[in-house]
Amino acid sequence: MSIRSMTEADLPVCLSFTQQVKWPHRLIDWQLHFELGNGSVIEANLDSDNALSAPQIVGCILWWDYPALNTNTTASSSTSSLSCATVGLVVVPDAMQGRGLGRTLMNTVMAQTGERNLQLVATVAGKRLYEQCGFTVRSTIYQVQGELATKPEVSDDIEISEVDAGSLSAVIELDNQAFRADRSALLKALMARGRCVIAKQNGKALGYAFIRESGRGETIGPVVASDSGVAKALAAALLQQAKAFVRFDLTEHASDLKGWLTDLGLQQVDEVSLMVKGEWLAQQASDSQVYSLASQAFG
């Protein structure tokens, strides 16, 4: 067996792996994660009778680098001055389970990421592996999705406006406050593939939210806001024009938002663990919080 860098030509095979575990990714979703990330695949010769047969991919993993913020403008400890990385799309097909391939993939990423603070979202099946790699559970993520039974009312108390490339800087600043690392490359990529709205009151930016086509329909996230009322206002503005199926990956800050979304007809379909190795930078946030992830992989 050997491990190498992922290429775009590998994506159809990687897509087939996520389809096997019934994750809803489309090829275009894989392409977005690949373009922004650092991927590796494991190859093996599965034909024991022919040593010259072409090796086949038997596992994949990606990670995304979020550089440290400028410490001149952002207070941080010596640990949080390091970059943050999220890890995701870790898949070994059923036929290759039990051979230590998941650990090999994780060891590869941990070597590549060095001393970065690491974050991932773990399914029940993957949690034990990540604990063995030094990750600890820090929070819970709630997957809430479906089709709306009724459209939400939009409040007039908070000004909600569309964001364009020229006004994206305010969104990046809000995200810096909440995630505590530089995700500007991710936000610019999401902007190119979807819509973003920003909430303001008396001229002050209070939060933002993205919506894009993804998986079975549309994904709303990230959602960053100063409080749950702002998060609801942002979500309501985007849900007004949602096409049909919509998904949120909500953080523990979003308990009020989760109840409100289920009242609108969405359902919680999964509950997974947010795990961290090193320092959980978002825990340091004060003025703004992450209410919904960009994706479980991106964070």
- For the chain of 299 residues, list the mean pLDDT of each consecutive stretch of 10: 96 97 96 98 78 81 94 45 90 92 97 96 94 97 97 89 93 95 97 96 94 97 97 96 94 96 97 95 82 97
What per-residue confidence (pLDDT) applies to 72? Answer: 56
Say whether the peptide bond before residue 222 is cis (omega within 30 degrees of 0): yes
In terms of Cβ atoms closer than 10 Å to its own Cβ (0-12, 13-18, 19+), residue 78 is exposed
Q: What is the pLDDT of residue 75?
A: 41
pLDDT given at position 284: 74
Task: Give residue 210's pLDDT.
Answer: 98
Question: Could you give the CA distance from residue 6 to residue 8 in angstroms, rounded to a whole number?
Answer: 7
**CA dist 108 → 104, 215, 234 (Å):** 6, 28, 39
Q: Please give the pLDDT value at position 73.
A: 45
**Structure tokens given for 132:** 């063995």
Q: Which two tokens stand for residue 183?
A: 């995700």
